[in-house]
Structure 1
Amino acid sequence: MDHRLPDDHTMKAALALAVRAPSVHNTQPWRFRIGERSVHIHLDPTRALTPTDPDQRDLVLSCGTALHHLRIALAAMGWSAVVHRLPNPADRNHLASIELVPNRPTMTDIALSAAITDRRTDRRNYSSKPLPPGYLGLVTERAAEFGGVIRQAAYESRNRLVEAMNAAARQHPEDPDYQLELAAWSGKHDTTDGAPARDTPPPHTSQRTPSQVFTPPRLVDSIREPDYAELLVLGTAADDRLSRLRAGEAASAVLLTATNVGLATCLLTEPLQIPELRKKIRHGVLDDATFPQAIIRIGWLPDDTPPLPMPPRRTVDELLDPFDAEETTAH
């Protein structure tokens, strides 16, 4: 590798943090290629969820979270990323090409990079401790850097959002193809992908906001009070592939910022997977101003809540492809 670029050890360390990004059903739908002067992120179509995500919106968003995680990891290691999104019109799965420039890391870069290994998708109930207004303002600013618009669902808009979430929770169990796919990606043991049973609690009778039910749920949720999570809806001005990729970057920025200040988070897309419910959320929560791409539960866990284990991930070596200069060059 060129002496002006990170050495192989540094690059693999950064990629090891990048693959800690959240993804739909923990499918980890990304692949990486390391070139002579760049790094490339590709969507892996073999990880597609046809009944769940027929237009690959969730998969592209997931790859966007990995892109942001990688940028943050590299920034903390002293490398600034110049990102070219969707660089190859002939290959729609080539989502990003990243050129690296030496740069001094900021305190924010270091803090967000440290948050990567602390972040968890926490589906347990959150406590009633209120969020300081400044925290919501901060995550809103961080999302805006990537074209994401954050709307806090409150009062009537929250009721509409919860209604859509409940409708999704009722409709999906009636879809056999959806249920087969969900079963294939959940309740796993000793694997490197999928939603493990140890991280998924059963539905709470006190839960005010429904969460997706994976099978079989085996996480014991000791929080007996109602769920007081705040609900944020992440939207974008457009709804094309580029917007969805940038929405993933914005979502990652929100999750890592929240983790850095001690908040618990859970990224949700289930009600957005049903077109009519997604339209209702766009109209009833976002006032038809933006397209909803993700929902983020955010809040505090009680002080004595035990941390979740590190979620399973595939290794960097499993996710690296040989570099082909012609394949990764825009036409």
Structure 2
Amino acid sequence: MVLAAGATAWMSSTGSMADYDAYAESLRTAPAVPPSMRDVIRYATLAANSHNTQPWRFRIGNRFIEIAPDVSRRTPAVDPDDHHLFVSLGCAAENLAIAATSLGWPGELQIAPDGNLIRYAFVNGPTIASPLYAAIPKRQSTRAEYDRRSVPAAHLALLKHTADTAGVHLAILTNRADIDRLKEQVVAANSIQMADMAFMRELKQWVRFNPRSAMTSGDGLFSATSGNPALPDAIGRFAFERFFNARSESDRCARQVDSSSGVAVFAGDREDKAHWIMVGRACQRFALTATSLGIKVAFINQPVEVARFRADLAGLVGIAGRRPDIVLRFGYGATLPLSLRRPVEAVLTR
């Protein structure tokens, strides 16, 4: 009886994975017929974004949709210049453009000169369903080990072609020696981050330890999406502080990089918000194309986030003198629980 009562209390405090999975799937249901602008925005919010902070605001106007940064969702410890924030906006803009065009609202993306606003302006033209549209609700950052299988050359070429963007350079590493050099940078940068108390405090703020907490907030990094167990909040916070350390995390990062088929590194031609948005668009197309091919992706941005490693990373991928922006590993592996998003109403503004 005591054990049964304890198990009931545990489940009550954490919520159920069945409810979580059902909620995650509901966020990804196909648009109604006819579709609405809210469907377009819902699909836009399924884009990749740093720490799953969802740092965006949308406004529906007369023949346009605008995307602006939500600075209340900044992560200054890991992203002091808002680089990741604007890359995230670019990812959302790409999803929005693909979804809108596929659902009957063709248009074009326009970036304000200062990079602080993105507008999707409707144009007259045919509805052309993008081959990447179906991948939007399936894409995820799969933070797990892959199976080391090689990606066929034709698929690598398609990934590079689909992500090709003016103003953005993409390097794909498949040579094991190059990947090993990158792994060393990831592990070293990760150790520095985990010794930074501000970084660790900020990260813990965005971790959701169980289905109930994740569903309540609709954002953040749910532990199960990285293959970790769900725990009551108090126990999760204790475990985070006691067991989440540089050694265990560096070992995990090393295994994940070792298991990957390759690594993609994106770099904008300039270090400004407009180019970070362009990088986000290219990154999102890469991830959607990978998803359509059955390839998993996950971010390993530590060498970008710790400034002292950027020059070494740039040298490794042949862009000396430029700032690398995003690092994605890719390969084949299992699907983990999908991450959540806040309701459309929470990201709409007038």
Flag whether TM exceeds 0.5 (same fold).
yes
Indicate which of 42, 49, 72 corresponds to 1:16.
Answer: 42
Q: TM-score, normalised by structure 2?
A: 0.78
2:168 maps to: 148
Q: Deviations over 1:238-284 (max 9, x none)?
A: 22111111000000000001101111111332221111111221123
1: CA distance, partners of 2:78 / 2:147: 31
1:232 maps to: 264
1:282 paired to 2:282: no
Larger deviation, residues 43-52 vs 265-274:
265-274
1:162 maps to: 183
When residues 53 and 208 of structure 1 are mapped into structure 2, their CA distance, relative to the original with a 3 A threshold, is closer
2:110 maps to: 84
Query: Any unmatched runs of 5+ in structure 1?
Result: 1-6, 213-225, 323-331
1:321 paired to 2:321: no
1:271 paired to 2:293: no
Q: Which has the higher helix share?
A: 2
When residues 127 and 22 of structure 1 are mapped into structure 2, their CA distance, relative to the original with a 3 A threshold, is same
Number of equivalences:
293
When residues 95 and 156 of structure 1 are mapped into structure 2, their CA distance, relative to the original with a 3 A threshold, is farther
Q: TM-score, normalised by structure 1?
A: 0.82
Code of the aligned partner of 2:80:
P
SS in 1 for 2:106: strand
Larger deviation, residues 232-241 vs 175-184:
232-241
Q: Deviations over 1:279-303 (max 9, x none)?
A: 22112333416431111111112xx
Contact 2:191 2:250 in 1 (8 A): no
SS in 2 for 1:52: coil
2:196 maps to: 175
Q: Deviations over 1:282-328 (max 9, x none)?
A: 12333416431111111112xxx3x3233110111110111xxxxxx
1:198 maps to: 224
1:113 maps to: 133
1: CA distance, partners of 2:68 / 2:300: 23
When residues 30 and 230 of structure 1 are mapped into structure 2, their CA distance, relative to the original with a 3 A threshold, is same
Contact 2:260 2:330 in 1 (8 A): no
Larger deviation, residues 174-183 vs 267-276:
267-276
2: CA distance, partners of 1:284 / 1:210: 20
Code of the aligned partner of 1:174:
A
SS in 2 for 1:183: helix
1: CA distance, partners of 2:68 / 2:252: 37
Query: Any unmatched runs of 5+ in structure 2?
Result: 1-32, 229-247
Indicate which of 186, 207, 217 corresponds to 1:186.
Answer: 207
Q: Deviations over 1:153-175 (max 9, x none)?
A: 23443233111101111111110
2:153 maps to: 133
2: CA distance, partners of 1:205 / 1:25: 18
2:292 maps to: 260
Q: Deviations over 1:138-166 (max 9, x none)?
A: 11112213533221223443233111101
1: CA distance, partners of 2:135 / 2:50: 20
1:250 paired to 2:282: yes
Code of the aligned partner of 1:209:
A
- Percent identity (aligned): 26
Contact 2:314 2:322 in 1 (8 A): yes
Q: Structure 1: which 4+ aligned runs deviate by more than 6 Å?
A: none
1:208 offset after TM fit, Å? 6.8
Code of the aligned partner of 2:67:
I
When residues 181 and 8 of structure 1 are mapped into structure 2, their CA distance, relative to the original with a 3 A threshold, is farther
Code of the aligned partner of 2:148:
S
1: CA distance, partners of 2:308 / 2:206: 25
Q: Deviations over 1:115-140 (max 9, x none)?
A: 01111110111112210011111111
SS in 2 for 1:288: coil
1: CA distance, partners of 2:225 / 2:262: 20
1:101 paired to 2:123: yes
2: CA distance, partners of 1:210 / 1:62: 26
Indicate which of 11, 17, 29 corresponds to 2:55.
Answer: 29
When residues 8 and 147 of structure 1 are mapped into structure 2, their CA distance, relative to the original with a 3 A threshold, is farther
When residues 205 and 291 of structure 1 are mapped into structure 2, their CA distance, relative to the original with a 3 A threshold, is closer
1:186 offset after TM fit, Å? 1.2
Contact 2:260 2:329 in 1 (8 A): no
Contact 2:151 2:261 in 1 (8 A): no
Superposition RMSD on alpha carbons, in Å?
A: 2.4
1: CA distance, partners of 2:127 / 2:156: 25
Indicate which of 283, 293, 298 corresponds to 2:330.
Answer: 298
Contact 2:35 2:103 in 1 (8 A): no
Code of the aligned partner of 1:180:
R
2: CA distance, partners of 1:238 / 1:182: 28
1:31 offset after TM fit, Å? 0.4
Query: Which is greater in Rg?
Result: 2
Code of the aligned partner of 2:100:
L
